[in-house]
Structure 1
Amino acid sequence: MSTLLTLTGFTYHHFGPIDLQLGAGGSTGLHGESGAGKSLLLRAIADLDEHGGKLTLDNQDCSDVPPNQWRQHIAYFASESFWWADTVGEHFTASNAHDLNTLGFDNDVLNWRVHRLSSGERQRLALLRGLQTQPQVLLLDEPSANLDSVNRDRVEKLVATYLNSHGATALWVSHDRDQLARCCQQTRQLHQGRFIT
């Protein structure tokens, strides 16, 4: 598995330094107590927050890439998604019926008004929306926290299929150790902004 994303002496907020390598086609699980810096780490990797040290994607340094271009290749999936238009379809550039069906939706979901979506529906649709740009790195912050077991399994399968078919990688934050064991090739524990395993 070739290395896709590398963090070397990476610092963010008052956390770090940390070193991490993420390989193409696989995912790394990240767990730790609340307040350990997991979500902040994902935001910093997405270049949404200030950071220091070295951060490279395919050997290209983050500091050499405009933030909007960086985020075309690195997608941050926050635990709470943001919606800016009234209907679901306005958030999608093209309808991909297969992916909608894979996550348990009929095609008419594109006509639904965003305000009627449950938190779990928002979470699944936000994942599909983010995958439209075909990012190389998925930064997943509790991507199935609001889901029942059936929809959790659908999300896990979709992510695994995407990583394999696109040669992408994921950093997957979850408090569910069983999920990380199922979905990730390796796991790391974060404590006060540093890896302890």
Structure 2
Amino acid sequence: MNPPLFSLHDIEVRFGRVQALSGATLSIHAGERVALIGANGSGKSTLLRMLHGLVPHAAGAFIGRVPRRAQAMLFQRPHMLRTSVRNNVALALWLRGAPWPHAKREAMAALGRVGLGALAERNARTLSGGQQQRMALARAWALQPQVLLLDEPTASLDPTAKRDVEALIADAAHGRTLVFASHNLGQVKRLASRVIYLEQGRVLADLPVHDFFDGRLPDEAHLFVKGETA
């Protein structure tokens, strides 16, 4: 097996007195679809941000074999620049060194893939929540990342928008490594091949998706799953 894209051993991340990750140990290999689950404050977002190079670790060993240019991260509330939908996507490519005419063409192709081609000239800040997430996916798609990191990408969307964005995520993840945080356990079952359960910054379970939902879990993880599916 090839070496993992990410290796964490006894990772500690602190924000002042808050221990966001505590002794986190895990590896992620190319092509995996990893779901991070756990209650709010369990460390999911911190772990994603650390993988993306946005959060430093205070202790432990971290090896990342994927340059940040080969990663794309989507946040729960994506940042919208005060310009057109097309420019929001094209600017990401231009900042990577693409000539502006090429960036605009690639942006339109990416927007077409997510069904937003007709809204390309609209101010991005006027889009609905679901449309903004689709635009953010187009922005990531255009960059052709090796790794896609998603932080609760459908948490604030209505059921129809959730289904649409989830289908786009499944398409975008094809041939890539996907790591995503979600409270939607149905979504986890549909998208993930592996589930990592975090509690208070600690990794308490790390299992294939079938074993996580059909096997024996640590008590804390079992109670979380039972509460989320009750």
- Classify the TM-score, shorter chain: 0.7 to 0.9
1:104 deviates by 3.3
Per the alignment, residue 120 of structure 1 pairs with 130
Describe the shift of the 1:130–1:31 C-alpha distance in structure 2 as closer, same or farther (beyond 3 A): same
Per the alignment, residue 78 of structure 2 pairs with 81
Q: Deviations 1:146-181 (Å, cap 9, x if unpaired)?
A: 33444433333333333333xx21111000111101
CA distance in 1 between counterparts of 2:168 and 2:31 reads 13
Per mean C-alpha deviation after superposition, the further-off stretch among 86-95 and 144-153 is 144-153
Per the alignment, residue 192 of structure 1 pairs with 200
1:26 deviates by 2.7
Describe the shift of the 1:55–1:162 C-alpha distance in structure 2 as closer, same or farther (beyond 3 A): farther
Describe the shift of the 1:98–1:81 C-alpha distance in structure 2 as closer, same or farther (beyond 3 A): same
Describe the shift of the 1:74–1:36 C-alpha distance in structure 2 as closer, same or farther (beyond 3 A): same
Q: How many residues align?
A: 184
Per the alignment, residue 11 of structure 2 pairs with 10
CA distance in 1 between counterparts of 2:41 and 2:75 reads 15
Per the alignment, residue 114 of structure 2 pairs with 103
CA distance in 2 between counterparts of 1:97 and 1:115 reads 18
TM-score (ref. length: structure 2): 0.71
CA distance in 2 between counterparts of 1:99 and 1:153 reads 19
Amino acid at match of 2:8: L
CA distance in 1 between counterparts of 2:46 and 2:139 reads 22
1:103 deviates by 2.9
CA distance in 2 between counterparts of 1:137 and 1:5 reads 11
Higher relative contact order (CA 8 A, sep 6+): 1
Per the alignment, residue 68 of structure 2 pairs with 71
Q: Percent identity?
A: 31
Whether the 8 Å CA contact 1:30–1:171 is kept in 2: the answer is: yes
Whether the 8 Å CA contact 2:51–2:64 is kept in 1: the answer is: no
Picking from 32, 39, 50, the partner of 1:44 is 50
Amino acid at match of 2:174: N
1:188 deviates by 1.2
Whether the 8 Å CA contact 2:44–2:198 is kept in 1: the answer is: yes
Describe the shift of the 1:56–1:162 C-alpha distance in structure 2 as closer, same or farther (beyond 3 A): farther
Give 1 or 2 for the bigger CA radius of gyration: 2
CA distance in 1 between counterparts of 2:22 and 2:141 reads 29
Picking from 45, 58, 61, the partner of 1:54 is 61
- Stretches of structure 2 that go unaligned for 5 or more consecutive residues are 91-103, 206-230
Amino acid at match of 1:8: H
CA distance in 1 between counterparts of 2:120 and 2:187 reads 29
CA distance in 1 between counterparts of 2:128 and 2:46 reads 25
CA distance in 2 between counterparts of 1:91 and 1:97 reads 11
4+ runs deviating over 6 angstroms = none
